[in-house]
Structure formats: structure tokens, C-alpha cells
Amino acid sequence: MPIQVNTAVKGKEYPPFAVTVERGKIKEFARAIGDLSPFYLDDAVGRASEWGDIIAPPTFPVTFRHEAAGSEALLADLGVDISRVLHGEQEFEHFKPIRPGDTLLVRSRVTDIYEKAGRSGPMAFVVRESTITDGENDIVAVMRHITVVRL
């Protein structure tokens, strides 16, 4: 018996949340990937670089989470158990470097929900877009995340 997803979630905007980028978190994230570039890990190299400090790896914004605006909230709204979801697609656009101490605002919304037949049965695709801005209201990065629900 296939499950249903609550398609009324399409268009929903989640409350904005603020994050302050931690130096140790950047390094922990780079090391977890096994990317040991000194531009992520070595403070002296960062200081001497064009950015004046270490910067975050391209996929680092995935660490920007909040219980009221993240995957847990989305799955609760969709009425879907975590065991049924897969990560389908992911995209990052970068406009400004992310450095330790940056305080950023994250705003997410569900831009689309559609169903398709997959190899292993019917699936729902839930598209989320998160816009990350800084204190000057410049867009720092945009993340697009497609969650696949096995129906």
C-alpha cells in the first residue's frame, strides 16, 4: 500500500534562522570529507590568502541546520518517515566566501513537489531551496535540495 505525501507543503516557507560559522566546524567538516586543503585547515595560510582567513568547503552550507526549518520539520510536514527518504539531487551556488565568524541568515522554502515512477516503484520528489544571506543582505550562497520519498 503506497504512502501519501502531503502535497500542501508545496510553497511552504520555513522560519529564517541565523548561524554563526565556527572555525572548528569548518575544519571538522573538511577533515570528515578527507579534504586536507590548507585553505580550509591552516589559519596562517588563510590569513595570507585573498580571503584573509580560512574559508569553508563548497558543500559546507549543508551544516546549516535548525530543528524548526530542517529535514525533520519537512518530513513531519510531509507525513513521511525518515526510513523512506533518499537524497536525490543537490546544488550549490556560491557568491561570497564563507569564513569563520560570519553570521548568516538561512531562509528555506519548498518550491515543488511532484511524483514520478522510479526503477523501484512510485516516488515523490520534494524540492527545497535555501537562500543564505549576510549582514549586508548580499546573497552568499543558494542551496537546492531534492528529497526523494519512496512511496
Partner 1 sequence: MKYAKVYFDDIEIGHEMPSLAKGPIRQIQLTRYAGASGDFNPIHQDPAFAKAAGMGDVFAHGMLSMGFVAQAVTDWLGVGTIQKLGVRFAGLVRLGDVISCRGRIVGKWPAKEGGQGQNLVDVEVWAENQKGEKVVTGRATAALVSRW
Out of 4, 6, 20, 59, the only residue in the binding site for partner 1 (CB under 8 A) is 59
Residue 5 burial (CB count, 10 A): 22
Alpha-carbon span 142 to 30, nearest angstrom: 20
**Nearest CB to partner 1, comparing residues 21 and 55:** 55
CB-hemisphere CA count at 13 Å for 39?
9
Rounded least distance, CB 55 to partner 1, Å: 6
- Dmax over CA atoms of the chain, in Å, equals 59
The answer to the question of residue 62 lying near partner 1 (CB under 8 A) is yes
The answer to the question of residue 43 lying near partner 1 (CB under 8 A) is no
Out of 7, 17, 42, 97, the only residue in the binding site for partner 1 (CB under 8 A) is 97
Which three cell numbers mark 71?
A: 529535514
Q: Of 8-16, 35-43, 106-114, 131-139, which part binds partner 1 (CB under 8 A)? A: 35-43
The answer to the question of residue 65 lying near partner 1 (CB under 8 A) is yes
Alpha-carbon span 56 to 62, nearest angstrom: 11
